[in-house]
Amino acid sequence: MNASNATVEYISRADFPRVTIDGISLSDFSLAQFRTMAILRGCDYLPKLPGFSLSTALSLLHQRRGVEQIIRLLALERYVPQDYLDNFRLAEKCFLHQRVYDPVTERLVHLTEPDGELDEAENAYVGPDMDPALAKRIAIGDADPISFEPMVDICPSFVPPVRKRLPLAAKGVVGTRGRC
């Protein structure tokens, strides 16, 4: 994210060979290394470590260091919370196994199936399962995802335009445009 102009750059795995950040190429980065970099730099599930730069993250990962080694190295130089590695693992599970609504089966599923059962803490992090009818109401915007109460229509006079098929429509994605 570029905070100065409020933009976000989308990078897909196919782009890795063409992306260089602070002089380090992502060409030989795996998705796991990229995910590790994102979590270490701060994400929705875990705040970044103070003073831990993107250059440092890239450099350490480029040297094929694992997250345990990186955290040990950082702990020698600066404060790293004692439970950071455990919280890192929870964040990683959330990236991999968060619950998402599947419109085909009309229920919540894991983004990727976990290898085994998730324990209580992991399950709370990836999101609890819920009644399929409620999950559908949340997914289509009819229920608040926090309170589960019906959503209030803030623009009742809005009429969406006729739906136009997007290039992804072959995969079942259809979108509309409109403003309130």
Would residue 108 count as lying in a domain? yes
Count of domains observed in the chain = 2
Would residue 163 count as lying in a domain? no
Are 80 and 126 contained in the same domain?
A: no
State the Cα–Cα distance between residues 138 and 88, nearest whole angstrom: 28
Model pLDDT for residues 47-96, shown as the tens digit of each residue: 988 777 888 888 888 787 788 988 888 888 888 898 999 999 999 999 99
Are 24 and 80 contained in the same domain?
A: yes
Tell me which residue range forms the domain holding 20: 13-93
The model scores a pTM over 0.75: no
**pLDDT in the model for residue 166:** 66
Q: Residues 20-36: what's their mean pLDDT? A: 83
Would residue 165 count as lying in a domain? no
Picking from 68, 93, 118, the residue at the C-terminal end of a domain is: 93
For 23-37, 109-123, 165-179, which range has the lowest pLDDT when averaged over its residues? 165-179
Are 89 and 130 contained in the same domain?
A: no
Are 72 and 137 contained in the same domain?
A: no
Predicted confidence (pLDDT) at residue 180 exceeds the cutoff of 50: no
Q: Look at residues 12, 77, 84 and name the one whose alpha carbon lies nearest to residue 51.
A: 77
Helix (H, G, I), strand (E, B) or coil at 141: coil
Would residue 44 count as lying in a domain? yes
CATH number of the domain enclosing 54 = 1.10.150.20
Answer yes or no: are the C-beta atoms of 60 and 70 closer than 8 Å. yes
Predicted confidence (pLDDT) at residue 22 exceeds the cutoff of 80: no
b/e string for 75-91 if b means 16 or more Cβ within 10 A? eeeeebeeebbeebbbb
Q: Look at residues 81, 116, 120 and name the one whose alpha carbon lies nearest to residue 96.
A: 116
- Rounded to 5°, angle at Cα 116 from 29 and 82: 65
Are 17 and 89 contained in the same domain?
A: yes
